[in-house]
């Protein structure tokens, strides 16, 4: 087999692993990966503004708004106007949302990060350079991407933005 075929097989395995983990997350918790990331950020930032979440996970405010709308409809998140500035709306996890988050499986990227950080610095740099080159070769530099390992779900969340 030629090297480009081996590389494409490896890329496909990565995509499949991400997809399988995303399905497992959805089956176990009923959440998509982006929903889980947003809930984790609300929890860690403590009543943040929507724009803070968008900046933290590198997604557009419109995408995050759509995710928040879904979480709010499920009763996991609520919005609360600031007492000092009525233009600001803070995000809070409901008790149900806190319980769900406490029992949710770890995102795949946390497993990846653990293994990646155990590598020598030169090997981390080599992998980063190679994957950045692959993204460039696939004309993917300008795509909206959060630091999470997911397949297709961010696009699905965006498609509902009106």
What contacts 99, CB < 8 A, 6 or more positions away? none
Higher pLDDT, 52 or 19: 52
Q: What is the per-residue pLDDT across 92-130, written as a single tens digit (0 to 9) for each?
A: 999 999 999 888 877 677 778 889 999 999 999 999 999
Which domains are present in the chain?
3-105+144-159 (1.10.10.10)
And the tokens for 86?
């009525």
pLDDT for position 154: 41
pLDDT for position 149: 58
What contacts 43, CB < 8 A, 6 or more positions away? 93, 98, 101
Provide mean pLDDT across the span 54-65.
Answer: 88
């Amino acid at each position: 087999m030629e090297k480009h075929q081996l590389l494409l097989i490896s890329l496909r395995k990565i995509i499949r692993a991400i997809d399988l983990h995303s399905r497992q997350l959805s089956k176990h918790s009923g959440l998509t990966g982006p929903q889980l990331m947003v809930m984790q950020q609300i929890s860690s930032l403590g009543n943040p503004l929507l724009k803070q979440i968008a900046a933290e996970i590198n997604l557009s405010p419109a995408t995050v708004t759509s995710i928040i709308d879904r979480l709010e409809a499920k009763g996991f998140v609520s919005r609360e106007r600031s007492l000092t500035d009525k233009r600001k709306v803070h995000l809070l996890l409901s008790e149900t949302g806190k319980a769900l988050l406490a029992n949710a499986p770890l995102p795949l990227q946390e497993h990846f990060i653990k293994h990646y950080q155990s590598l020598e610095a030169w090997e981390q740099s080599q992998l980063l350079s190679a994957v950045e080159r692959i993204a460039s070769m696939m004309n993917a530099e300008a795509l909206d991407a959060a630091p999470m390992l997911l397949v297709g779900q961010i696009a699905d969340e965006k498609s509902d933005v009106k």
